[in-house]
Amino acid sequence: MSATEITVIGNVVKAPTRNRTQNGSVTNFRVAATERRFDSATQDWVDGHSFFIDVECWGELGGNVSHSISKGDPVVVVGNIRTDEWESEQGRRSRPQIKAEAVAPNLARGVADFRRTPRTAPAAPDEPNTAEDEAGGYVSGRDYVGADDAFEEMTEDLSAEPAHV
């Protein structure tokens, strides 16, 4: 059976909370996506209906989300949508939920300062990690490590140029 992938662009309306379970760590938060449309009568943008959805993030993604995302932040969430069902005193209940594959700040609404999470390859019993592995978090066979002259050095200062026109 194939999963139903969805992308939601919205704002965090419930701050991320991190919990440990038998299956690992999970971070949960809630997103609201509100449609916007142009009202020709008022010549202004107006809010339409809102869609609310719960998001769960497992493992490393959950840890990174809990350290990076706060209530009110504009986000982009990509994952698989499913229906969470349970029994309550009122009877059978359900709600849509996204099991996230990726969560990112919405850069159409601001800027972000990305920092890669350091990763180190586990050392073989007779072979210690190299200094490069420890310092840069490189994983042999996965991350590119090339010669110092592999990339051309940038000689022109582009800091004054706008990102787009």
Q: Mean per-residue pLDDT for 18-31? A: 93
pTM: 0.66
Please tell me what DSSP assigns to residue 103. Answer: E
Across 136-150, average pLDDT: 48
- Of 137, 55, 50, the C-alpha closest to 104 is 55
Mean pLDDT within 53-69: 94
Residues 23-38, mean pLDDT to the nearest whole number: 93
| DSSP string covering 18-63 | EEEETTEEEEEEEEEEEEEEEETTTTEEEEEEEEEEEEEEEHHHHH
All structural domains of the chain, each given as residue ranges with its CATH number in brackets, are 4-105 (2.40.50.140), 118-153 (no CATH)
Amino acid (1-letter code) at residue 126 = D
Q: Beta strand pairing status for 24-39 and 91-105?
A: unpaired
Tens-place pLDDT, residues 2-11? 789 999 999 9
Q: Band the pLDDT of 1: cuts 50, 70, 90.
A: low
Place of tokens 């042999």: 140
